[in-house]
Structure 1
Amino acid sequence: MNRRRFIATTGASVVSWNAFAAPSEKVNIGIMGAGGRGTALAKSFSKIPGVQIGFIADPDFNRATNAAGEVEKISGKAPKVDKDFRKILDDKDIDVFVCAACNHWHAPSTILAVKAGKHTYVEKPCSHNPREGEIMVEAAAKYNKLVQMGNQRRTWPKIREAIDLIHKGEIGETHLAQSWYLNSRPSIGKGIEKPAPSGLDFDLWQGPAPRKAYKDNYLHYNWHWFWHWGNGELGNNGIHLIDVCRWGLGVEFPMSVHSSGGRYMYKDDQETPDTHMVEFNFNQGKHIQWLGLSCNRLPEGNTPDILFVGSKGTLAIKGSGYIVYDSKGKEIKKATGDGGESEHLANFISAVRGNGKLNSPIPEGHKSTLLCHLGNISQRTGRTLKCDSSNGMILNDPEAKKLWTREYEPDWELKL
């Protein structure tokens, strides 16, 4: 399939997102990545009836062992552990692969997993660059496997209710979605080159990314702030909010993207912005705006996570609930509900068993992740991007187009 044909057909992929059943009553899961997210996912999946964590892999073997111990406390049975996730792919007893590793691993491991016959749950953002997302969608279709992205708000009951209200015209014709993410992160300092810690296979951790020497401010979280492995705050947390904005507005690919901001709070090694403003413009006069402040918090309660603006009023999403206001700002409806990840994971397992469809199949996850990539590309090039509104491709900007993909470590190039 050539690239143009692929882009034209991914929205109507041949894969059926609800047509699968597990090979046995029990769903056996292998998890790549045993940090905070991987351990949390292992514990949450373990609590779903009929689900077993059979394998945990992490290049930091100590973390894999610790996560296995947490699973054993819940299930009474410790999973296998290894530093190399490819052992999960080779294990015929594993039905489902979960990627909770770093961003540069999300697409390469998912593609290998579906090729190995595993349905896959991949953390957000689903890819490190736009081309990886395209290949993920193509791979899921080619190998006829379910792939769900970990953007849990797609399953939160009251968020789904809020989006349904918007689509039914509760606030009239909706033309703008604004979103905010606030944090108070410290400086990452200046890294010192030194040997990797005992128990960490740093070469395997880097995997598909071209090799860099280890520095003591890379792991286990600060990789987010280096373009080589991460996608900044926009890809780290903005993806959650931008996905809901896109969902509510009913848009897919932008016609232009503008980014501004920078790293202002500290003079350290961080490459990504701590103050980041991005605007996405779509056909039909629809717009998404995102403000990310990594090192500044506003007074609690003064800002919603997302605000939809319509011709008859506004709908504000805060946490796992929402409030509807009329055009004069009067509250007319309010709802709160459950959040967390358990229902999103249960939705994925239900689809694997052949009961219902995914709430965030990879074609949708890719479209939202692509917006984050485009925002970052605009930031890195310092100019507005013009895009093809049918597929998101960057137009008339050779420098920006180079960031559509990346260089890979030899033998780690993505292949279908």
Structure 2
Amino acid sequence: MHRRTFLKQSGSAAIGLAAAGTRLLAQQSDRPIRTALVGAGWYGKTDLFHLMQVAPIDVVGLCDVDQQMAAEAAALVSTRQASGKRPPTYGDYRKLLKDQAPEVVLVGTPDHWHCLPVVEACKAGADVYVQKPISYDVVEGQAMVAAARKYGRTVQVGLERRSTPHLLEARDRYLLSGVMGKIGFIDIHSYYGSHRGFKPAGQVPSHMDWEQYVGPASWVNYHPDIHPRSWRHRREFSNGQTGDLCVHFFDLIRYFMGLGWPKRIASTGGSYMRSEGTHVNVHDTQNTLFEYDDLQVVWTQKNWGTSPDKDYPWGATIY
């Protein structure tokens, strides 16, 4: 199987960023694709195991700054890949790229670590699947696009709601059919709660390279709540719910409605529901207007209040 076909069949929606004329392999084959994972946490493993279900791959390396997490992932991989091999683990993605020369690299790190592994993987000749958001900020995203084009690589961004069956069915049945008529307003929202505060700073575990975890971000002392799942509550590592669920649903709406970029964007927000002294520093409230010629899309993010659908704290409501 060609590695580009493999990526397209990965089961998660993506945005291709390859330049025209990107080279193709000389021949298609059924040999396993040499695949590596950078960021072996929950979603990194999820993406990797999904790929195992749809294409023949040979997992040649795993990278994570948490040695324990990497070892646990390697053990799982050995039970799931056809060869039964346990892939070697690394604490530095650059050494993995040099030692293993993967053809495909999955990046499932926290957001602040998306850019550098993607750029280096492209430079090393690998195609890349990176979780959304593509980058921590616009400048990093531009660098990633430039690297994909410079080195002729395919980079795909994990926006899986584009390929979620029931959402595509709803699009076809209600939007594309014209049943809903003219759409004038869309509310995308998250009323998902977050930490009110972290535990006091603790000792860095012996299996954790905290300095490498912080990496290109501004320095943050280790807190046991940040890793592995609550890094989104620090601005140094993410853009909070706006960089998470807003990306998902704004992309979904743009895809469903065939929208380009908005004419104007206005946003306001802040932290109103947390006590002073908390280590959480992302906003708990944000309201953003994306304005088009004949449509307004509003992003509402609150760690308080009530979602329009009592059963789901996040979603999109189309009017």
TM-score above 0.5 = yes
Matched, 1:231 2:239: yes
Which residue of the partner structure matches residue 355 of structure 1? Answer: none
Q: After the TM superposition, which residues 298-377 of structure 1 pair with which residues of structure 2 at under 5 Å, given as runs?
A: 298=307, 300-301=310-311, 305-309=315-319
Match of 2:248 among 219, 224, 240: 240
Number of residue pairs matched by the alignment: 298
1:47-66 alignment, distance < 5 Å: 47-66=53-72
SS at match of 2:197: coil
What one-letter code is carried by the residue in structure 2 that aligns with 1:306? A
Structure 1 residue 130 displacement after superposition? 0.9
The answer to whether the aligner puts 1:183 opposite 2:192 as a matched pair is: yes
Alignment partner of 2:54: what SS?
coil
Contact 2:195–2:280 (CA<8 Å) still a contact in 1?
no
State the SS of the aligned residue for 1:300: coil
Query: Larger deviation: 271-280 or 65-74?
Result: 271-280
> Is the contact between residue 28 and residue 95 of structure 1 (CA under 8 Å) also seen in structure 2?
yes
Residue by residue, what CA displacement relative to the aligned partner does 1:365-403 show, whole Å, maximum 9, x if unpaired? xxxxxxxxxxxxxxxxxxxxxxxxxxxxxxxxxxxxxxx
1:70 aligned to 71, 76, 98, which one? 76
Matching residue of 2:265 = 257
1:278 partner letter: T
* CA displacement at 1:231 relative to structure 2: 0.9
Moved more, 73-82 or 59-68: 73-82
For 1:43, which of 49, 56, 69 is the aligned residue?
49
Aligned residues of 1:277 and 1:290 also touching (Cα < 8 A): yes
Could you say what secondary structure the match of 1:126 adopts?
coil
Matched, 1:269 2:269: no
- For residues 282 and 289 of structure 2, the distance between their equivalents in structure 1, rounded to whole angstroms, comes to 17
How far apart are 1:288 and its partner, in Å?
1.4
Percent identity of equivalent pairs: 26
TM score, norm. by length of structure 2: 0.82
> Whole-Å Cα distance in 1 between the matches of residues 215 and 17 of structure 2?
32
Map of 1:12-411 to 2, 5 A cutoff?
14-15=19-20, 25-75=31-81, 76-164=84-172, 166-167=175-176, 169-189=178-198, 191-192=200-201, 194-267=202-275, 268-282=278-292, 284-294=293-303, 298=307, 300-301=310-311, 305-309=315-319
**Structure 2, unaligned runs of 5 or more:** 1-15
TM-score by length of 1: 0.64
Query: Displacement of 1:80 after TM fit?
Result: 1.2
Answer whether contact 2:39 2:63 (CA < 8 A) is retained: yes
Task: Spell out, residue by residue over 1:254-275, the C-alpha distance to the aligned partner (whole angstroms, 9 max, x if none).
Answer: 2222223332332222111223
Distance 1:106 1:295, change over 3 A: farther
Deviations 1:234-268 (A, max 9, x none): 11222111111121232222222222333233222
1:42–1:64 Cα change, 3 Å: same
Q: Partners in 2 of 1:266 and 1:80 — Cα distance?
A: 43
C-alpha contact (below 8 Å) 2:102/2:126 kept by paired residues: yes
Shift of 1:184: 3.3
Output the CA distance in 2 between the equivalents of 1:216 and 1:41.
25
8 Å contact from structure 2 (residues 189, 301) kept in 1 = yes
Q: Deviations over 1:270-295 (max 9, x none)?
A: 1112232221112x222211222345
Distance 2:29 2:209 in 1: 33
